[in-house]
Each structure stands twice: as C-alpha cells, then as structure tokens.
Amino acid sequence: MGIRPIIKMGNPILRMNAEVVRPEDVHSLISVIPDMITTMREAKGVGLAAPQIGISLRVIIFEIPSSRATSVKGDQPCGIQVLINPKIDPLTSEKELGWEGCLSIPELRGEVPRYTRINYTGLDAEGSPVKSYATGFHARVVQHEVDHLNGILYPERMVDLARLGYIDEFAEAQETQTLKNDITRDGNDNG
C-alpha cells in the first residue's frame, strides 16, 4: 500500500469522463484500491476518486466519520466504502447548500448545492453489486466523488462564487465575527 500523488485542479485528467471498469477487470484494481485508501487517509480526506491519483477509471472510495455524520437514517458513520462504476439516483429535487473542500483543490472551500437524498449503486471491491441509500453528509460525499468521474470539480456546481475562499481566511473572518458578536452581546448586557 503506497501513497500516490494527488493531482491538482488544472491537470486535464480531472476534466475527463473516467472509463467504465468492466466487471471482469475488477480484480485488476487489487493494488489501486489499497493505495487510494492510504492516500485518502494520509491526506485526511473523506473521499477520493481514481482520477485524483491520475487513474481515469470509475472508482471512488469514501468513509463517513462519526464527527461528520448526523445519525439520521442514511447518514450514519461508515468505514471505507469502495464503489466501482457508481451511479446516483436523486430521490428528491430538493438540494441543500453545504461547505465542501477537495484534495485536488487544496486549502479552498466552497458552498455547494447537493441533493439531500440519493440512492446509489455500483460494484464493491470484489465485484459484487452495491445498492445503498444516503442523506446528509454521506449523500454529499458520494455526489462529490462521482462528479470527479464525470470531469466536474465542485466550483462548477456553486451558485455563488463569493462563497469560495481559502480556509484560513474563512476561519479568520469567522473568528472576527464571533468577537464582534461577543462585544455586541456584552455591550447589550451592560446597558
């Protein structure tokens, strides 16, 4: 299991439609999938698509940590999930805005609309069929990773590019706003 370099926005592989993995070729991913897992965990990500490590195949991995899951049905924590040739079926037209980052666009975050509830299908690492339901953060991660297989990066999904920025700038702005709120609250309490 090795750590592979994560390619960044600007690399043409990230703009391509990834190739379908034939069921008889699933076994050929035996070294790719462990490398994807190691790479994702080393980068402290929650998902990774094969194109992000320069392999234009329809393979994604993800894991939903308990710190991000809501425990609503479909958004529970889960360990590593492998999806080969994933397909998404939105169960509603309702979308929700949420903050996203991407290992291929380091240090930036953007607010992206995503379907709130989806079914997804594909094959697991052994080539067996997978069918699952997801909502909340879980649904967001699956949609984000499948976008990579279709040559789409999250800024293209954004409705307001003013909501795209560097993580440290957002943190500083949040801290400043919290301080202003504290001062305002304290001023109102005294008077």
Q: Is 130 helix (H, G, I), strand (E, B) or coil?
A: strand
Catalytic residue among 63, 100, 111, 145: 145
Integer Cα distance of 136 and 117 in angstroms: 7
The half-sphere exposure of 5 on its side-chain side, counting CA atoms within 13 A, is 4
Integer Cα distance of 155 and 112 in angstroms: 8
Eight-class DSSP state of 161: G
Cα radius of gyration (the chain): 19
Q: 8 with 107: CB under 8 angstroms?
A: no
126 is catalytic: no
Residues contacting residue 34 through CB under 8 Å, at least 6 positions apart:
1
Burial of 65 (0-12, 13-18, 19+ CB in 10 A): exposed
The whole-angstrom distance between residue 191's C-alpha and the CA centroid of its chain comes to 47
Positions marked active-site: 145
